Amino acid sequence: MATRTAALGSAIAGGEAASHWRTRTVALVLLMAIGGYFWTVSRYPALYKKYSQGTQVKVTGAITFGTLLPVTAGMPLGQRVWRTSINWLQANEIGMTFGFFFGAAALTVLATMPRRRTGNAYVNSLLGAAVGMPLGVCANCVAPIGRGLYESGMSTESTLAAMFSSPTLNVVVLAMAFALFPLPIVELKLATMLVMIFVFAPLISRWKVGPITAGECAVEVPASATWGQALAATAKSYAKSFWHVARVGVPLMVLAAVLGALAVETIPQTGLHTPATLGGIVLVALVATFLPVPMAFDVLFAYVAMSRGVALPYVVTILCTLGIYSVYSFLVVGKTISWKIAAAAGGAVATLGALAGFVAMALR
């Protein structure tokens, strides 16, 4: 009797998997269409342009490469915060649009798959890193994608690894770092990232937290017997997925813009031009971890700081913390997974960045 029941269950599961292939195919085409358009039309051409500019790159905004609205020191604080917030939202317009659309598509695709994680936390972290590396989006724009991955049933460690690897292990960003900095400095940056992905993320998987249970998907994609049904099912599921990602991500995006602008407009940057101290390194690490900056801003800002005589420990700390995590990442991870894990991730990034700064201070 038990054998018959097992065989029947296996047959049902096999039938459901077979009936999902059309929907999965349509969802995959949608996912690749969104990704292909963004990567070929916007992201990689923009990254290559920054790479080709090299030492001539311009950083004119407080937390952006350019500015839509000018901001001067003589303006009242409220006006500076408002203008910097608008500049940040405009600078992230394309990346955030991609993040929401791609995150929803990833949730739809993964909802059609029977397995979205393994029993090995290190394998899950490796899987997440492999997903994140080619995305080509900053720590802010990858947050909606991370929400989509987690709500599809992917593990906590896979989600965090994807979010950490996207802004830091992208091939163009790494090429920039190797071109602009001495090898030991780049090695420190890579070491901190590998620890975040293959030590911190697997360890955090032991924390049994989150709004969904292991492997459960927040969106259900019905099976389809025809291509017409597959198209209809994908469209309906994608709309649900998009709402699931955007209803949290959009309000928090506006909040992050204001918080980031407030931080960068109130914290004086003159301290960077003083000799490095242990306390100064810790403060730089905390601020850099908090600030929501665009893709490759960490590498280019750190290079500009180094070229202007900022102490090397501060430069290393900036390079190892800025752009890897942010207040927006913290808000989305906290709302999606847990506030405890969100705080732990930020603390780990700041701690490792500070340690890298201490190493630079000891070796100089």
What amino acid is encoded at 186 in this protein?
Answer: V
Helices (H) and strands (E) in the chain, counts: 17, 0
Q: Name the phi and psi angles at 165, rounded to 5.
A: -80, -30
Q: Yes or no: say if 165 and 202 are a contact pair by the CB < 8 Å rule.
A: no
pLDDT of residue 19: 61
For 140, counting Cβ atoms within 10 Å of its Cβ (0-12 exposed, 13-18 middle, 19+ buried), the class is: buried
Per-residue pLDDT, 218 = 79
Q: What is the spatial distance between Cα 61 and Cα 69, in angstroms, rounded to a whole number? A: 10
Mean pLDDT in order along the chain per 10 residues (364 residues): 41 48 93 95 88 76 86 92 95 94 95 86 95 94 96 94 96 93 95 96 80 67 86 93 95 96 90 91 97 93 92 97 96 95 97 97 84
| The pLDDT value given to residue 214 | 52
Q: What is the pLDDT of residue 10?
A: 40
pLDDT at 287: 96
User: Rounded to whole angstroms, how far apart are CA atoms 86 and 34?
Assistant: 26
**122: its two tokens:** 């290190």
pLDDT at 171: 93
Q: For the chain, how far is it from start to end, CA to CA, in angstroms?
A: 73
Q: Where are the domains of the chain?
A: 12-363
Q: How many CB atoms lie within 10 A of CB 3?
A: 7
Q: Residue 209's pLDDT is what?
A: 60
User: CA 59, 93, 330: angle at the middle one, nearest 5?
Assistant: 85
DSSP 8-state symbol, 42? I
61 within 8 A of 106, measured Cβ to Cβ = no
What string of DSSP letters covers 4-30? HHHHHHHHHHHHHHHHTHHHHHHHHHH
Q: What local confidence, expressed as pLDDT, does residue 12 receive?
A: 35
Determine the 3-state secondary structure of 45 from DSSP: helix
Predicted TM-score of the model (pTM): 0.90
Predicted pLDDT at 115: 80
Q: Are 321 and 349 in contact (CB under 8 A)?
A: yes
Q: What pLDDT, on a 0 to 100 scale, did the predictor assign at position 292? A: 96
Q: Mention every residue, 6+ apart, whose C-beta is less than 8 A from residue 59.
A: 65, 297, 300, 301, 304
Q: How far apart are CA 244 and CA 269, in angstroms?
A: 38
